[in-house]
Structure 1
């Protein structure tokens, strides 16, 4: 009987070695695909006004650069250390934070649907007159960065 257990453990170690080798290959392939996808998304964002609707076409790339810098700052300075600390000291809090983020995104989505169906508008929209384009741009960038933080 003990030899059967040893044989089983030996088989498990062989399977684990094969799985770890394939996981390494998957990680490399995912990294390559991710970098290619990021290039496509950024390239599309540069030529698609829907990402920065309502703003000057000459400002599209600088706006996307601001959003990119804010997104990287969020991920490297807030999310990564926060996730590591939470997973070490308060792992149960992660689920609650994810639920709060989902609730916020649901609220924002419901707000957009209500506006489209003819309900009251919340804040300034593109149909309103833009008196200060710089302030409007900064507000749009801040909103995009905040949404990216919550989605991440």
Structure 2
């Protein structure tokens, strides 16, 4: 069906879930609740105001205040990040950890790559995204 084992399994699961939902009690209950609420709200000015994309909401005072608060928080966090990055590189513990790391892994870049490539985590991720040879390796995306 698809070139990926994972995508094939997920698409089959999705098809089953859709089929079960079509004839489920949950869907019938949802429709019985949704339809009367839709009829009740059809003439509502509040619902019309809240659901329309309007420039009134964007230029409102409350929206501008929200943007100001979010900008202040973003600038504060950005400044804190800059401060901590600078002080981290100047700290003695960072220098000690860097020295230990370079001493331990001086000539073992290849060893580290081998360890990572042979780890179970990388194997599982590689297996999940392995293409199915049955379909000739066609890309599903």
| Pairwise same-fold verdict (TM > 0.5) | no
- Give the structure-1-normalised TM-score: 0.29
Greater Rg by CA: 2
- Give the structure-2-normalised TM-score: 0.31
Name which structure has the greater RCO, CA cutoff 8 Å, separation 6+: 2
